[in-house]
Amino acid sequence: MRIRPVLVYDGDCAFCTASVNLARRRLRPRCEIIQWQSADMDSLRIDRKQAEYELLWITPSGVVHGGAQAVARLLLNSPRGWAVPGILLSLPPIRWLAHGVYRIIANNRDHMPGGTLECGLRTVHQQQQARDDADAPLGNESTSP
């Protein structure tokens, strides 16, 4: 079992990386911070789909909090009074509002300051197209009789 919690973020996303770097400097959280691309996902008991979708906070016991609740846990584990906003983000109705705001930001992170096209989340159509492309025959093979 780990001793410290782990914050997992998308290291390919410039907006996510800038946000995490800001948190490191300003919040000084008591946790390990890693990008999912270099994380041992099996030992953290998370999958790529989760990690691409949202920020993840993994407790030492293995409980996973995602999105706005990962932000709340980050704040709760930071010194100098940051626990207060962390508590507020954990309580209804602020918790519900925080979830909605987080989803809006996450779904539009490629349009946020510092965001790039790599920051964008794939749409369901893009995910299906990628699966179809992966299943397509290679070379000049014809799929028609």
Digit-coded pLDDT (tens) for 9-52:
999 888 899 999 999 999 999 999 999 999 999 999 999 999 99
What pTM did the predictor assign? Answer: 0.79
Is the CB of residue 85 less than 8 Å from the CB of residue 74? no
Phi, psi for 9 (deg, rounded to 5):
-135, 170
DSSP of 115-131, one letter per residue? Answer: --GGGSPPPHHHHHHHH
Compute the average pLDDT of residues 62-66: 96
Residue 123 has pLDDT above 60, yes or no: no
Cα separation, 87 vs 84, whole angstroms: 5
Question: Within its chain, how far is the Cα of 111 from the centroid?
Answer: 16
Q: Is pLDDT larger for residue 107 or for residue 7?
A: 7
pLDDT at 34: 97
